[in-house]
Each structure stands twice: as C-alpha cells, then as structure tokens.
A and B are shown apart, each in its own frame.
Chain A
C-alpha cells in the first residue's frame, strides 16, 4: 500500500489491540445499565403499559421524545458527514468517522423507542402486511428503513480504505478471526486507480443521497405530529423546524464525542481546537436557525391567541417554565455567546455548551410532545392525578438510560473495531487524499 512507509496505523493500533481496565469497567457499567433497561422492558411487557406514566391523554411520553431525539442526532450525523464530504472540507478527516458512527448507531437505537410505545409488539409485522400508504407511520417505516440502508452503505464505503489498511498491516496484534474479518470486509480493495475512481464516485452519490434521505425522514417524523389537529402540533413549520433541530442536536453530540475520544484515545494531535471551533461554528449557525424557527412558531401561536394555543402557551410558561427557558432561551443563546465571542472559544467551553445544547434539545422535544397532549380541545376532567399530568416512571427512565448506554457501548465497540480517526489520509496524507477526491 501507498501508506506503508509511514503507516499512521502505528499510532492507532493500541486502541484496537488493547482495552484498559477502565475500559472494561466502563463496558461492564454500560452493560449493567442496559440490564436494568432490559428488566424494565420485561416489566412493561408482562404488566402492560400501565407501568409507564402514559395514560389516555398523554399517550406518548418520554419514549417518543427519545425517538425524536435519537433520530435527530442520527440525521445530523448524516447531514454533517455528507455535507463535509461533498464540500471536500479539508479539516473533516479526523471527525468524519465519528459523525458517521453517530448516524448509524443513533439510527439503530431511535426506532427501538417507538417500538416501546406500541401496545402489541406481537403484531408489529402488520405494519408491513397491512401497511396503509395513507398513514404517516407507514411513510416513517419506509423512510427509516431506506435511511438505515443508505447510511450503512455510506458508512461502509467510507470504511473500505481503512479496512484494506488494517488487512495489510502485518504488525497488528489481533486474533486471527479479526484479521480474517477485515480481509472479508475489505472486499479485495487494493487502491488501484480504477478502484479509487469507483469508490469515490459511489461515496459522492451516497453522500448526496444520505443528505436528502435525512431531510425526508426527519420531515416525515415531524408530519406525524403536524398532520393531526392538536393545538401546538398542527403547524406547517414543523418539517423544517425538526430538520434544523435535528442537525443542531447532532452537531452538539459530535462535539461531545470529539471531546471524549480526544481524551480517551489521546488524539490531541489529530483533533485540535480548530476542529472544535469549526464544528462549534456549525452549531452556532444552527442555533440561530433553531432560535428563529422556535420564535416564529410560538410568536404566531401567541399573537393570534386562538383559545387552545393560548392555553398551551400558558401551560408552557407556568408548569413547564424552567424546561421552556432552558430549551428555548439558554439552548439558543449560549452557543451564540460562547462560540460567537472569540475569547470564549476554548475546547472546554465549546464542549460544555454542546452538553447544554443536547439537554436543551431533549427538553425541546419533551415540550413539543407532552404539553400539547395535556391540553386537548376538550379539557381533561379527571380525578386521577396521573391522568391529568404526565410523569415518566422508573420504567421509562431506565429504558431511556439503557438507550444512552447502548449508544455509548456501540460507540465504544465500534472504536475498538476500527480506528475512530480514518487512517487513510490523516496528517501528511491530507493533500494526497484531496487530489484523489
């Protein structure tokens, strides 16, 4: 291979070869959280959905919030990696694989949360057997399936070069089955000009497709809400609003991942402040868009003050005051200030901002789902407190934690399988890759 003389894999091979004690503790911890989630899942399966906080008015709760949230960061990964690829952004190399991993891992977890909302999992196949194209859920099934395939292909194409390097690197101390697996997965790629040309063309096409699929999928997800007549959901802005919110949350998750892997695998030489500022600026622009959409949505509801919109906004500013402030004020203004003002732009500050943004956007989805369901056209008249107001139970929180844990676990395992920074085209190879692209 062309990389043989100065194989960058030498720097990265330890993370593939060895797992530290802390690494094992981390994995066991994640497995424990997932175990708790599994226990909660069976509790729900055997005792019925009564063990959740959902009732006849708030029929969707934290599960659907998590669904939107994970799908959001997934599409964001797709949009960011796809766009960076198409624009041939030079600095993308060390972080693009993280974005691709975010995409595919979140995409595998998100739909699981919608399954938790389904009362009869034994009849899930009816979605295919008796699917009705008129229903936005069918649109979602088609769109998400397409998205999973598209993103897998895109990820795989981008892994090919590295898989070939891993196959060819003799010094790699790995069990034989791993080496064989690399050999199979590398599909006989050796980097001939013809192979390069084809691979580049395929990657370009998939990048463009992944971007458009991501927009479609997230719009469809938004339409599940906005096609209904519920006050607060029945809004034409929801499609683009959800897309922007999705990319926004994904950019923040990417920053957090960059920080974590930079620390854990000592990638300071590869992921620098430049990268944090670059992704931070993407986050800043998205924050501005997100703030604009949020303002536009609530302004029109408040100004016209239709009776039910007014009730909803009252609810948001009373019972949901702090979540509303965090998600729609702090979540918008903080990135503008921290990334916008040059002297605040440190790696630590940008990462902290990203954490706040992720929390804010989770709350934003919660505020879209729950308050609307708590203020239907006909007032909820019920003596049972749990039927009046939704409060998530330990079952829902455990499964939420399990979702996050699966995300972390899959990410950890993925980084053990293949280097988290692409080895083809880092550091000195950057120029060469640019020419090839």
Chain B
C-alpha cells in the first residue's frame, strides 16, 4: 500500500478519502513534516493514523502522538492542494439533537452565546411542513463577505474554504451585513472559553477567539488535515451531516459514504437561497421520508433553547 500511495498520488487521495476519513490503520512513514502534527511529550499508542500535510502528502503518525495541526497564518491562506470541499445536510434525518452545535462549540472553544452552526426551525409557507435546518457557513464560491472585507481578513481558499484571520480582522462587521445567511458571529467581549485554548492561533482552528473580531464556521480544516470530518458531522447521532470533496465526488458522515453527484441527483439536493447567486458549497437534501416527527426536536432541550422557537409560525399554531 505504501508503494501505491507514493506512485499514484491522485489515486491515493481517493483511497484516502474512501477509507481514511475514518482513521484507518496503515504503515508508518518517516518525515520531518510530521513533526508539526506530533506532540512529542505524549505517549505512543501503537495505532497509526493518516495525516494530510500542507503539501497534500499523506503521512502516518501514531494516534497517541497526534495533535491537531495549527498551520501558520500564511499557510492557512493557501488551502489544501487539489481539494474542493463540500457538505451535504440531510434534512430528513435532523431532529434538533444539537450535538453538532455542542461538539463545534467544544472543538472551537466557543462560549454558549457563539454558535458556528445553528439549528433553525423553518417552515417555507403556511401549508408546507416544518423542518429542522442545521446551518453552518455555506463557504460560498461567490462570497460577498470576502468581497466587502476592507483588509483581506476573510478569504476564499483554493479548496473552497472561506476563513477568517482574527489577527487581521479590525471588527468592522461589514462581512456580517454582507452575509445573507447570518452566519458570522462577533466577539462582543472577551469570553473565558477563549482562554481554554493554549495553542497558538491559527485561522484554520478559528481558535483562540479574540474580542472585537468576527468568526464563523470554518469547515474544520485542522481536522481535515488529520483525516477527520468536521466536529458537527462526526458528532451528529443521526448522521445528518455529510462532508467530502467535490472532485473526489465522495461525501461521508463517518459511517456511510456516498457518491456526491449521485446523492444530489437521486435525492434532489439543493442549495439554500440559490437565487442570491452566492453559490454555496453546502447542499441540502429535502426533508422527505422523515425519521422523526418535528416535535421530537423539542425533546430534551433546555428551556432557553426551546424558547428560541416559540415565535415560529409552527409553534404559534400548535400552542394550546
């Protein structure tokens, strides 16, 4: 397998995506590049995981030694070579368990009041069915937030990811009004959660956060580099969120893997507010063949979370 990886990088990436997104066993490879991803003080476990370096090479390191790579700010502008990321969200399966929100907040060291992924209760019109709508950043191919930024603090990478560099951000919030999807959040003060993260800042990790700057969902490129899918996708108990690569034509939620183009065409995938011309990289599968009643989404939630939905047309209609 090592031979195959080295001789045919393109194929190797496909292999990697199919097998490797869920970290698989393999053969160790020695390289200085690995150093960036390895915490030397940690103990080895003997289990190897595959790692994608900034050059698009695949490396394997011991799981016990692995820490999430924090690439430099300069490096974070480049994007992972040869990749184009995409997300597919299956609305038929979402029951507002909010595990995606919690995992994302934990992974990015966010306070309760900042959500990179939000779950809405939407109902397109009076007679149509309500549904739960998880909304990350759409990482648009025509991102207005990037166009309006006066200092280049937010940028579109070659792999399709839109990131924010909070060292550059001046906090003018123009991008927040530019985004038609209310995706971006602002640090209105210094939250204690920011201090939990002791690693140096990298736009790829969107952490530690910084008061007076804008941040948002980043598609977790630091996880992608170590062959994982974003926090939200792996945390979802229903497997609602699929993550993958358009060029590889593959998406996975960690347990199921689909051919992206076939999934979109078979299940009538669409992009939210297509008319705005922002060309999102997040696709939705319509809320058909539901696995849950909409009301299940109110299940075990905190009262404060339930309160969010009390003014929606659906909740008002069903009030006793």
Contact = CB atoms under 8 A, between A and B. Distances in A.
Contacts of A54: 188
Interface stretch (A32-40, A221-229, A287-295): A221-229
Interface stretch (A75-83, A116-124, A154-162): A116-124
B168 A381 contact: no
Interface stretch (A103-111, A128-136, A173-181): A128-136
A382 interface: yes
A2 interface: no
A134 B309 CA distance: 38
Interface in A42-69: 47-50, 54-57, 59-60
Chain A interface helix/strand/loop/mixed: loop
B150 A59 contact: no
Given A124-B170, A127-B151, A130-B151, A57 B188 contact: no
A119 B182 contact: no
B187 A119 contact: yes
Contacts of B151: 123, 126-127, 130-132
Contacts of A381: 118, 120-121, 308-309, 311-312
Interface string B175-219: 011101110111111100000000000000000001111100000
Interface stretch (B20-28, B52-60, B141-149, B255-263): B141-149
A132 B149 contact: yes
Given A131-B151, A135-B149, A230-B180, A117 B308 contact: no
Contacts of B120: 378-379, 381
B212 A59 contact: no
Contacts of A225: 177
A137 B171 contact: no
A230 B177 contact: yes
A50 B189 contact: yes
B246 to A, nearest CB: 24
A380 interface: yes
Contacts of B212: 48-49, 118-120
Contacts of A59: 173, 176-177, 186
B273 interface: yes
A265 interface: no
B301 to A, nearest CB: 11
B22 to A, nearest CB: 32
Nearest to A378: B182
A223 to B, nearest CB: 10
Contacts of A233: 177
Given A48-B189, A49-B186, A379-B312, A120 B170 contact: yes
Q: Which of the listed residues B151, B177, B278 has the most CB atoms from chain A within 10 Å of its own CB?
A: B177
Contacts of A120: 169-171, 210, 212-213
Contacts of B118: 381
B84 to A, nearest CB: 23
Given A50-B189, A59-B186, A120-B171, A138 B150 contact: yes
A149 B311 CA distance: 51
B318 interface: no
Interface in B209-255: 210-214
A49 B173 CA distance: 12
A119 B309 contact: no
A228 B148 contact: yes
A383 interface: yes
**What size tier do the contact residues of chain A reach?**
35 or more
A97 B178 CA distance: 40
Interface string B147-176: 111111000000000000000111111101
B171 A118 contact: yes
Contacts of A117: 172-173
Contacts of B36: none
Nearest to B167: A123
A240 interface: no
A377 B309 contact: no
A373 interface: yes
Contact of A137 (B172, B190, B308, B311): B172
B168 A126 contact: yes
Nearest to A229: B180
A224 B147 CA distance: 12
Given A119-B187, A138-B150, A376-B180, A383 B304 contact: yes
A54 B182 CA distance: 14
B182 A56 contact: yes
B1 interface: no
Interface string B73-92: 00000000000000000000
Given A377-B273, A382-B308, A119 B186 contact: yes
Given A57-B182, A120-B170, A378-B135, A137 B177 contact: no
Contacts of A376: 180, 182
Interface in B104-149: 118, 120-122, 135, 144, 147-149
B307 interface: yes
Contact of A134 (B135, B147, B187): B147
Contacts of A227: 148, 178
Contacts of A132: 149-152
10 smallest beta-carbon distances between A and B, as pairs:
A119-B171, A119-B212, A48-B189, A383-B307, A137-B150, A135-B150, A50-B188, A59-B173, A50-B189, A130-B151
28 contacts: A47-B189, A48-B212, A55-B188, A56-B176, A56-B182, A56-B184, A59-B176, A59-B177, A60-B173, A117-B172, A117-B173, A119-B211, A119-B213, A119-B214, A120-B213, A126-B168, A127-B151, A130-B152, A136-B148, A138-B150, A229-B178, A230-B177, A230-B180, A233-B177, A376-B180, A377-B273, A379-B312, A382-B308
Given A135-B174, A136-B148, A378-B181, 12 more contacts: A119-B187, A120-B170, A134-B148, A135-B148, A227-B148, A228-B178, A229-B180, A373-B177, A377-B182, A377-B276, A378-B122, A379-B122
Interface of A: 47-50, 54-57, 59-60, 117-120, 123-124, 126-127, 130-132, 134-138, 141, 224-225, 227-230, 233, 373, 376-383
Interface of B: 118, 120-122, 135, 144, 147-152, 168-174, 176-178, 180-182, 184-190, 210-214, 273, 276, 278, 304-305, 307-309, 311-312
